[in-house]
Amino acid sequence: MSVSFPHPLVFYGEKLTEEPYSFTVSTDGEDFNGSCTGQEEDCRRNVSFPLGAKKCVTLRGDGAFRDTGRICLSGEPPLDVTLSCRHLNVSVSWQHGGPRPGAGFRVHVGGTAGHQVSDTTALRFDLSRFVWASERRYLGFHFVTVTAKEGRSQSASVTKTFSYKQSKAVEVRCVLDFPAVDLNDSESGATLSFRNPLAIHEELRPASGVEFTASSEEGGAKDGVCSAADAVCRLDLAFPEGAKKCVKTLTGSLLGPGGGGEVAFNETGPVCASSATEASMVTLGVMLLLFFIAVFTVIIAVWKVKACTMKTLPKPLISPMETQEGLRYATVSCREDISPLTVTDHIAWREEEEEEDEEALQCGGGDHLPCNQYAAGGLSEGSGDDSGDDSGKTETVEMEEQEQEEEEEQEEEQEAALHGGGGADFLPIELLYAEGELSDRELSEVSCDDSVSPYDCRHDL
């Protein structure tokens, strides 16, 4: 059985010395000494076990490295270990009979540019970040080892080797993919073009350029090259008259610092030319589609606006002339000359009505016009049908004014007698109902509801 491990000084980035690194692999019955130089990425030592003995080892090394402890070989190793590296994606996957709780896998990837050890319980592990960390990494030689482990026990390891560099002898050679390739028809032939991979992927920028070869169906081939400064790689091709303008295969590789091809591109093809007419028709079709979409959107928007503005008003909850709680409603036309409704005090309204009645009585009562119409010039002399009787009406008004003045003088004399200092006797007291006032009996029959003034209601004190 072979025991291997990464060179400790290389793994931890320690300074290498000319002297080899020494270590000892101990089994239950024997010690096996070994050593490895700085040029070796891995340190290895073959060991043997007695027939039927348990296969367990302990590793001890020079320097400040601790012993690994007793590690035993047990369990089934990972099955069907597969390494996949297409374009920039690198991963390793495997199968297993089903690890028990607490079991897992150890993935060790390493090579000329360093090492990385990771533990996982999945059946797949992504290696892309490690490989594309630097130019030295992706152009180097790599190996990946998968080991099933449980506690201090582990299974036999399964290893795969891979590299992007064409000159490395490995089990799996990784390749890149070309971007989308176009072949545009022209009068003299056709032009092959694709975006420069160095302008798309930052991981490839340490390369100096891209070289590629286009092969036709007639067997001809033409080489092209583009530098890292070019955004698009182009190649003009000529085709025989009447021949179909197609590129059968397109191959290429990245140019390293020395100018040679370092990383290969996956072969692609065939690619055929599209005429200018076809391209124009496609462009026209796209533009028409966008136009119809815009018109349809505008029509829908206009229709929605009209639908919102043409909505009917809601119906009234109470129909015209419908009675509710003894009140009757009627529709009123919306005329601007109708003044707003004003609510006035019921008591103040009655007082104003009584004043107007008194004023009418003073001016002659009946159907005579109020006095203020004469005072304000509302009626001029000689106006109306009774202009011939103006003198008679004037005499009647003067007599009424005299009677009113006499009544006022009598009231003033009575007040003087009452409030004077002479101590006059009380006048005979008579309690009379004023005009329009209700008697006690009538007051008792009046119900104090909203239709009667509070002053007309009877109150017991």
What sign for the dihedral angle of Cα 392, 394, 395, 400?
positive
Q: Are 112 and 99 in contact (CB under 8 A)?
A: no
Domain coordinates in residue numbering, the chain = 2-173, 181-277
Nearest to 120 by CA among 161, 92, 86: 92
Q: Which residues pair with 61 in a beta bridge?
A: 23
Distance from the Cα of residue 342 to its chain's centroid: 55
* DSSP-derived 3-state class of residue 325: coil
Q: What is the DSSP letter of 203?
A: G
Strands 181-185 and 79-86 come out as: unpaired
Q: Which residues of the chain have pLDDT under 70?
A: 13-17, 98-102, 257-261, 275-283, 308, 310-398, 400, 411-461
Query: How much is the pLDDT for 311?
Result: 57
Query: How much is the pLDDT for 2?
Result: 85
What sign for the dihedral angle of Cα 205, 206, 209, 211?
negative
φ/ψ bin of 189: left (φ > 0), alpha (ψ from -120 to 50), beta (otherwise): left
Distance from the Cα of residue 177 to its chain's centroid: 35
Alpha carbon dihedral 390, 392, 394, 395, in 10-degree steps, equals 170
- Note whether 2-173 and 181-277 share their fold: yes
Strand runs (DSSP E) across 258-381, as ranges? 261-268, 271-272, 323-324, 327-328
Nearest to 210 by CA among 189, 235, 191: 235
Q: How many residues does the chain have?
A: 461
- CATH tag, 2-173: 2.60.40.10
Distance CA 373, CA 12 (A): 121
Q: Which residues pair with 76 in a beta bridge?
A: none
Per residue in 348-358, pLDDT (tens digit) is: 545 555 565 55
Query: How much is the pLDDT for 94?
Result: 95
Query: How much is the pLDDT for 387?
Result: 46
Query: How much is the pLDDT for 367?
Result: 47
> What is the DSSP annotation of 354-412?
HHHHHHHHHTTSTTPPPTHHHHTTSS-TT-STTGGGHHHHHHHHHHHHHHHHHHHHHHH
Two tokens at 414?
Answer: 């009575």
End-to-end Cα spacing for the chain: 126
Class of domain 181-277: mainly beta
Distance CA 293, CA 458 (A): 83
